[in-house]
Amino acid sequence: MNQDKRAQASTTTTARPWMGQSWPRSSTGRSSLVEPLPHHISCEALHVTFRAEPSAIANLLPPDLEPLDTGEGWVMIAEMAKVSASNPEQMWRDPSRSSYNECVLGFYCRFGDRIGRYSALVWVDRDWSLGMGAIFGWGKRLGTIDRTRHQATNPAFDEKTHTLGGTVSRYGRRVLDIAVTFEDGGDAIDALPGHAASTFLYRYIASPAPDVPDIEQLFELGFSNVSMSGIKQGAGMLSFGDAEDEDLDLLGKVEITGGYAYQRGWTTDRQARLLKDYTAG
């Protein structure tokens, strides 16, 4: 092949469009783990709040995020629903692509004078949710997540006082357990206690070459169409398991401060704001 033909072939190859919101990409985009954004998300959640030593929390926060002096954190285990705006019929045509379980362990923290939420550790049971983590900077891992289904028609729930629980396991090792006991059905409250704040995201992609820098960035993300309902307050419980590669032992002893159940909905879209690009120096 002469030089002109090689140049033409190179140009043609470079110009060939590949589609998809995430890997793996293709000429159609159908192979992508993540459907085009925005995604409408909702959850049926159990939520336990706790306090830990700020110096311990700092072990799980990226550079430039500082724990609050109050050491506030939480664990949420939820049954989730995702509906991509590009394919709303997917939720009933292929429910396995729209339903998943998730657990989030996070903290309230500070970037300068701004207070926000940071999801330090996240476990999910679908690979396409894992793909969303790579786009935005949520540190997601595959796990087995289970949660009590509170169905009022079940005769076991005839008594108003009940306890709901959730568990996370990976590779046969228990990661954590939560539970919330609701006396007389729990106290209905108007809002989940805590800071109504946006989310901090830490995005890291290691470079495969010595002469190309890693990608390391800090973002702030706000959600739209946020709503909450059915918020009930109870007494929370949280315990960490013996899984060796989760870093939960870094938190030490934690103080449980509350337990809640609720439904929440929001829309996730590509509207994050770059706070710091560590790659740029």
Segment 95-99 shows an average pLDDT of 95
Asked if 226 and 41 touch (Cβ cutoff 8 Å), the reply is no
The yes/no answer on whether domain 40-280 falls in CATH 2.60.120.10 is no
Which tokens in the block code for residue 204? 């890291």
Stretch 88-104: mean pLDDT: 96
Stretch 152-161: mean pLDDT: 83
**What are the backbone dihedrals phi and psi of residue 224, each rounded to the nearest 5 degrees, phi first?**
-110, 170
pLDDT per residue over 173-199, tens digit each? Answer: 999 999 999 999 899 999 998 877 799
pTM (predicted TM-score) = 0.91
**For the chain, domain boundaries:** 40-280
